[in-house]
Amino acid sequence: MTPTSHVPAQVLVVVVAASGMLLASVLPQGMAQRTTQGVAAPADDVPRPSASSAPASPATSGGNSAPRAAVVPDVAPDPLPAAPALPVCAYDDVPTRFAALSDWSVTLLDTSFTLGPDYRPDDLVPVGTAGVEGWGEIRALVVDDLRAMDEAARAAGAGFAVQSAFRDHTSQQEIFQEWVATIGEAGALAESARPGHSEHQLGTALDLRSAGTGTPAWEHPDWGQTPAGAWLRENSWQYGFVLSYPEGQSAVTCYDYESWHFRYVGREMAEQMRTSGLTPREHLWRTSDGLT
Please provide the size of the chain in residues: 292
Rounded to whole angstroms, the Cα distance separating 289 from 283 reads 9
Cβ atoms of 139 and 123 closer than 8 Å: yes
CA distance 205 to 214: 19
Pick between residue 6 and residue 263 the one whose CB is nearest to Zn ion: 263
Identify which of residues 145 and 207 has a Cβ nearer to Zn ion in the complex: 207
Is 261 a residue that touches Zn ion (CB under 5 A)?
Answer: yes
**194 binding Zn ion? (CB under 5 A):** no
Q: Which stretch binds Zn ion (CB under 5 A): 1-9, 37-45, 209-217, 253-261?
A: 253-261
Classify 139 as helix, strand or coil.
strand
Three-class secondary structure of residue 131 per DSSP: coil
Among 78, 145, 207, 282, binds Zn ion (CB under 5 A): 207
From residue 152 to residue 181, the character string flagging contacts with Zn ion as x (rule: CB under 5 A) and all else as - is: ------------------------------
Is the distance from CB of 197 to CB of 221 less than 8 angstroms? no
271 is catalytic: no
Q: CB 16 → Zn ion: shortest distance, Å? A: 36
- Identify the three-state secondary structure at position 234: helix
The site for Zn ion, by CB under 5 A, has a size of 2
| Start-to-end CA span in the chain (Å) | 35
Catalytic residue among 219, 258, 271, 282: 258
At its nearest, how many Å lie between Zn ion and the CB of residue 244? 8
What are the catalytic residues? 258
Q: Where do contacts with Zn ion occur on this chain (CB under 5 A)?
A: 207, 261
